Copies of this chain bind each other. A is one copy, B any other.
Amino acid sequence: MDDRLTETQIEAPLSLAKAGGHGDRYGARADRMGRMAALGLPLPPGVVLDFATVASIAEGGPIPCIPDPIGPILALRASAGNRRWGGPQSILNVGLSDATLPALIDKIGARGALEAYRRAIRSYAVRVEGMDPEDFDNLLYDQMKFASRLGERDLEAIVAASKALYEDETGAPFPQSRDAQIEGALRAMAREWNAPTARILREANGAPPHAGLALIVQSMVFGLGDSRSGAGSFQPVDSSTGDAAPTGRYLPDAQGGDAGRGVRTPHMITEAERAEAGQTLPALETLEPAAFAALVDGAQTLTRGFGDTYEMQFTVECGRLFILDAEPVRRSSRAAVQIAVDLVECGVIGRETAILRIEPRSLIETLHPQVDPSARRDIFGTGLPASPGAATGTICFSPEAAMALHAQGEPAILVRVETSPEDIRGMHAAVAVLTVRGGMTSHAAVIARGLGLPCVVGASDLQLSLKAGELRARDGRVFRQGQRITVDGTSGEALAGAPAMVPAVPSPAFGRLMDWADEIRELGVRANADTPADAAMARRFKVDGIGLCRTEHMFFEGDRITVMREMIMAETVEERIAALDRLLPMQRADFAALFETMQGLPVTIRLLDPPLHEFLPHSEEEMAALAAATGLPLARVIARADDLREFNPMLGKRGVRLGITMPEIYDMQARAIFEAAYDAGSRTGAQVIPEIMIPLVSANREAELVKARVEAVAGAVMAERGGSLEYHIGVMVETPRGALRAGDLARSSHFLSFGTNDLTQMTYGLSRDDAGRFMRDYVQKGVFPEDPFHSLDIEGVGELLLIAAKRGRATRPDVTLGLCGEHGGDPESIRFCKVAGFDYVSCSPFRVPIARLAAAQATILTRNSAR
């Protein structure tokens, strides 16, 4: 084919049936309609004017000759390079004139033909001559004062009045020549495309500055008039389930989108649908069995030809079906999975295509209950959608209240200004969490995602007064402990009362899709799991191991916190060791349970990370209680808490800094891990190879010092227990310096696991807990294209990951590279990890399916782009 723009092309438009496969010159719609015509679908005949021709028309160039066989009356439709770039509305009934009217009356009856003529004059006047549409509508309404349904005479009068109006306004009669109407309509559409507003709008949707427009000139088919004519839409599947079930709407005596305008009640497509809706109007199936059969047939052809299920816009003209256009069926995420899997099983598409077709994030909806889309939403507060799903429960303003309610078997919703590690038990007991402060990666958000709890954070339009015991909404409503509310973590809203919910039942199709994903993906998917319950949840989602077990959460359970605090209060190493000795069996039991649950799958345990003050009580009452429990003077408790206070805890004495300045803590943890590995190994028979991770390393010497002590503990435990124990020691890379020095770190590390939460904080110099206050503003203003705590910042943090991966591998080619931040569950970030050559990602248990699917997609995409 010749791609050059020539006069010949302007003279000879491309026939519609040949337009398929030339979207880059004829636009998406012409391409689609061409491919549909090529499949033998019943489309009205037509031709296409390409981008160059239309550009020339816009500048006053010649109008190509539209061949007569297309018919005397035409529909003109826009075809831009991409559906999202819009384009001028269609102009219909072009060529209708006093001369062509009689033949149309013969074909579809006088009423239909006159209505078409009325519409033809109106749209030509408005679009070509720029007249006010209201003037024409007034003619119609004036006439309708006298008749609820317009008869032939009424319409004749309106047509005459319309012509007169046209001539009054333009000084010339309504053009009676087909060619004149075509020229006027084509120039109008070409001009509209070049209007500044249209340009701005499409460029906002990603169109290039010189995006072209093609125009389709098609024979007009008429749904108006004749009792066997009408217009409608049809799709072969159910949009919410994806199950095979023809469905749609049909409106007799209608044109284009009339069926959706709600003027009259449309008919259903099948009798089954009609029966279910309790409608009396007969279904299309009954009205026009041949057209219906052709639709079912056409949908099948389209599915096989286009590789997806499509919704079709159609017109029935005197009993004969014409398909006008088609677009992929809109579908819920659940339906998307079902449709994709069905298409694979019918041999229409391959597994890889099915996998690529599902947006991984959409799986969330299939895993959590949701508020019924049709339920009334009584929103009293809005925040950030921190953890998806919805739950209804009773307001609790304290973790204790939530635990008490949970003990009674009642669903509790924990409502806090913000949460701290002390709230963990309350969060475990709650069905959802709502906080007034905090960002997408605040404590509440991170923990809730880990627990799979619906969560809304940063609902700053709410005021929580614990003193008054009330939660006050901006509209003045007050909610108190004990009232029922619903937290919708998918939308980020707090709802009053208990709206209807849609349950989460993963379908068999979901299971099949995930199995295929596992066969394809190369990137491991592990879970961030701190407890045997987390681990069991992760295993239900078919995880490859645990990539991050945060040991600190274990210290808040039950009465351990008191022992932990005694440890912190210790004034001598001996006192500290005595307290640690009491924590040892508890940690050992935790680790053993975790190892047993994981049955030999890898488990990476991070040594204690948070600063010690996080474990101390904050209020004076609690401090007094601690003093009483430990027998220490209150003054000493207060002094110690004061002493540990930090200006910037995120950048303080935590992680390996704690491990080096108080090495006894890591000694205890290492011993607990090794002893638990022995215990679990002998109980399950599956060998446990624990992976010990050192947090917050910024210099290799830190890792070396800890490693030496951990190895000493391992030696001691082996000597006591006999046999030999395999284990790996690695580093959590979460400071920019750690990333830059990864070449050094790999020397002491079996693995490097990137903690992208902290790495993002430090790379931006931005605390995730404090960023919530302005992040929405920042993203809205386009300062940051996205919240970097949500989707990995490829340009900054990503570069550090690439530098680190390269340097780490240079020193130790077989070093294992993992990512264990929140980004481990983010599809774009997962794709990045695949490209960067990582071995695994680790994410919240609830995001494991998302990560598995995204990992499979990453493999397919990398493979495709390498081809």
Contacts and interface: CB of A to CB of B under 8 A. Distances in A.
A98 interface: no
Interface stretch (A228-236, A359-367, A513-521, A757-765): A757-765
Q: How large is the interface on A (under 10, 10 to 19, 20 to 34, 35 or more residues)?
A: 35 or more
Contacts of A773: 653
Contacts of A741: 795-796
Given A735-B764, A737-B796, A793-B737, A783 B649 contact: no
Contacts of A763: 698, 735-737, 740, 762
Interface in A798-834: 799-800
Interface stretch (A66-74, A137-145, A375-383, A774-782): A774-782
Given A649-B770, A660-B781, A740-B796, 17 more contacts: A647-B650, A648-B649, A648-B767, A651-B761, A651-B767, A652-B770, A657-B774, A661-B777, A698-B763, A698-B764, A698-B796, A735-B766, A736-B763, A736-B765, A737-B764, A740-B795, A762-B763
Contacts of A705: 781, 783
A795 B735 CA distance: 14
A466 to B, nearest CB: 13
A696 interface: yes
Contacts of A774: 653, 657, 660-661
Interface string A92-125: 0000000000000000000000000000000000
Contacts of A784: 699, 701
A667 to B, nearest CB: 16
Q: Tell which of A764, A765, A783 has the most Cβ of chain B within 10 Å.
A: A765
B647 A647 contact: no
Interface of A: 646-653, 657, 660-661, 696, 698-699, 701-702, 705, 734-737, 740-741, 758, 761-767, 769-770, 773-774, 777-778, 781-784, 793, 795-797, 799-800
Contact of A650 (B648, B698, B734): B648
A770 B648 contact: yes
Contacts of A649: 647-648, 770
A698 B646 contact: no
Contacts of A653: 770, 773-774
Contacts of A652: 767, 770
26 contacts: A647-B770, A648-B649, A648-B769, A650-B767, A651-B651, A651-B764, A651-B765, A651-B767, A652-B767, A653-B773, A698-B763, A698-B764, A699-B784, A701-B782, A705-B781, A735-B764, A735-B765, A735-B766, A736-B762, A737-B763, A737-B765, A737-B796, A740-B795, A740-B799, A758-B765, A762-B762
Contacts of A761: 651
A805 to B, nearest CB: 15
Contacts of A767: 646-648, 650-652
A799 B743 CA distance: 14
A653 B765 CA distance: 10
A699 B775 CA distance: 13
Contacts of A736: 736, 762-763, 765, 796, 800
A800 B651 contact: no
Contacts of A796: 698, 736-737, 740-741
A650 B769 CA distance: 12
Nearest to A737: B796
A705 B762 CA distance: 23
Contact of A783 (B702, B769, B795): B702
A646 to B, nearest CB: 5
Nearest to A777: B661
Nearest to A443: B647
A842 to B, nearest CB: 20
A462 to B, nearest CB: 13
Contacts of A795: 740-741
B758 A698 contact: no
A660 B776 CA distance: 13
A113 to B, nearest CB: 59
Contacts of A799: 740
Given A701-B782, A705-B781, A769 B737 contact: no
A336 B765 CA distance: 43
Contacts of A737: 763-765, 793, 796-797
A383 B649 CA distance: 23
